[in-house]
Amino acid sequence: MGKKKRRAASPSKVVRIPFQQFITGSMTAGSLQTQLTPANMGCLAEIYTGYDLYKFTRLEYQLQPRPNATTDNPVTFAYYPEAVITAPGTVNAAMENLDCIVQMDGATMPTRWHKVPAARLRGQISWYKCQPDAAATEFEVQGILQAFGSSTEAVYAIVRGVCEFKNPVDSTTALKRIKDLVRVEILQEFRDQAVNASCRSPGGVKQGPPSVPGM
């Protein structure tokens, strides 16, 4: 009889959610920062607590005209793929970011839409934690949306895109996922031990890994 093929484990189901958010506020000392996390992006704030991991796979934004503008100071808006950043010191420094858009006070039309390239949007790691954890910001924040000006300028930005979630955190699913991970790790350890033992034995006879009771 032929060997029975082992069915590969199915990957975690990924849920893709489109979103659109209006970011508004007044700068402090020429800076206004918003963390790119589901908690800060509209409808995603009602979803992210049900999952373990997230990542934004599409992000674009534009600046809206500012009402009652009386000066000609520029305002910039850009994405930075870091968890913590220092605000740029000048407009020229802000414009060094290729994902930066700029608007003058006298503008009466929105800026163009800017789409962040996928490779840059990815940030530092492949997936980010939905649930907060002390001293682990780099694993929870995919990036920073930085608005820059000269003083207390108002910011009116529209941000939209797509966020993906995986690994539901309800108790039943979470327990099953943990058991599956433990089983894989134990079996892998047994395989490694069997390979090492066969390499040391005189006949080089390989033995299969033992079964894992209750797994």
Write the CATH number for 148. Answer: 2.60.120.20
- Write out pLDDT tens, residues 105-116: 888 899 999 999
Which residue would you say has higher pLDDT here, 38 or 190? 38
Residue 178 counted as domain residue: no
Residue 62 counted as domain residue: yes
The number of domains in the chain is 1
Q: In this model, does residue 23 exceed pLDDT 90?
A: yes
The band of 133, judged by pLDDT with boundaries at 50, 70 and 90, is confident
Residue 195 counted as domain residue: no
Residue 111 counted as domain residue: yes
Phi, psi dihedrals of residue 208, rounded to the nearest 5°: -70, 160
> DSSP state, 42?
G
Residue 206 counted as domain residue: no
Residue 2 counted as domain residue: no
Q: Whole domain around residue 79: which residue ranges?
A: 14-168
pLDDT at 178 (0 to 100): 54
Residue 197 counted as domain residue: no
* Planar angle of CA 19, 98, 87, nearest 5 degrees: 80
- Write out pLDDT tens, residues 39-60: 999 899 988 999 999 999 999 9
Residue 147 counted as domain residue: yes
- Write out pLDDT tens, residues 82-94: 999 999 999 999 9
pLDDT at 181 (0 to 100): 58
* Planar angle of CA 95, 157, 147, nearest 5 degrees: 40
Strand 154-168 vs strand 144-148: parallel, antiparallel, or unpaired?
unpaired
Span 17-31, mean pLDDT? Answer: 94
Which residue would you say has higher pLDDT here, 174 or 93? 93
Mean pLDDT of the chain: 83
Span 10-28, mean pLDDT? Answer: 87
The band of 164, judged by pLDDT with boundaries at 50, 70 and 90, is very high
Q: In this model, does residue 212 exceed pLDDT 60?
A: no
